[in-house]
Amino acid sequence: MKEISTKEVQQRLEAGEQLNLIDVREVQEVQAGHIPGIVNIPLGLIEFRMHELDRNIPYIMVCRSSARSGQATAFLESQGYEVKNMVGGMLEWEGAVE
């Protein structure tokens, strides 16, 4: 499974890079604070909503600690998507939060 650090994601966003972030936490968790610009698809809905994602676009999966996003990354990878898991999740995130 491909991984990316919270620091690298933060640096790339602060440099103005457009990243495709998918937050797989539950809606209430995301409402409590999330990285600006994320798309929220709770882990339990990934299988049913993956048709909304483009196999030609790389995605970074995010959750609280990187466990759920790891599951989502493994699943989407097995379905032919280009995905990375943000290791450490929101617990280690030091960048901007909405």
Check whether domain 3-15+23-92 has CATH 3.40.250.10, yes or no? yes
The pair of structure tokens assigned to 98 is 């909405």
Cβ atoms of 96 and 35 closer than 8 Å: yes
Upper half-sphere CA count for residue 48 (Cβ side, 13 Å):
5
Give me the catalytic one of 60, 63, 72, 76.
63
pTM, whole model, 2 decimals? 0.96
Measured distance between the N- and C-terminal CA atoms of the chain, rounded to whole angstroms: 28
Tens of pLDDT along the chain (98 residues) come to 999 999 999 999 999 999 999 999 999 999 999 999 999 999 999 999 999 999 999 999 999 999 999 999 999 999 999 999 999 999 999 999 99
- Alpha-carbon dihedral angle through residues 15, 18, 19, 24, given to the nearest 10 degrees: 110
Instruction: State the Cα–Cα distance between residues 15 and 10, nearest whole angstrom.
Output: 9
Active site residue 63: yes
Whether the CB-CB separation of 75 and 53 falls below 8 Å is answered with: no
The residues spanned by each domain of the chain are: 3-15+23-92
- Kindly report the backbone phi and psi dihedral angles of residue 35, in degrees, each rounded to the nearest multiple of 5, phi listed first: -70, 130
3-class state of residue 32 by DSSP: coil
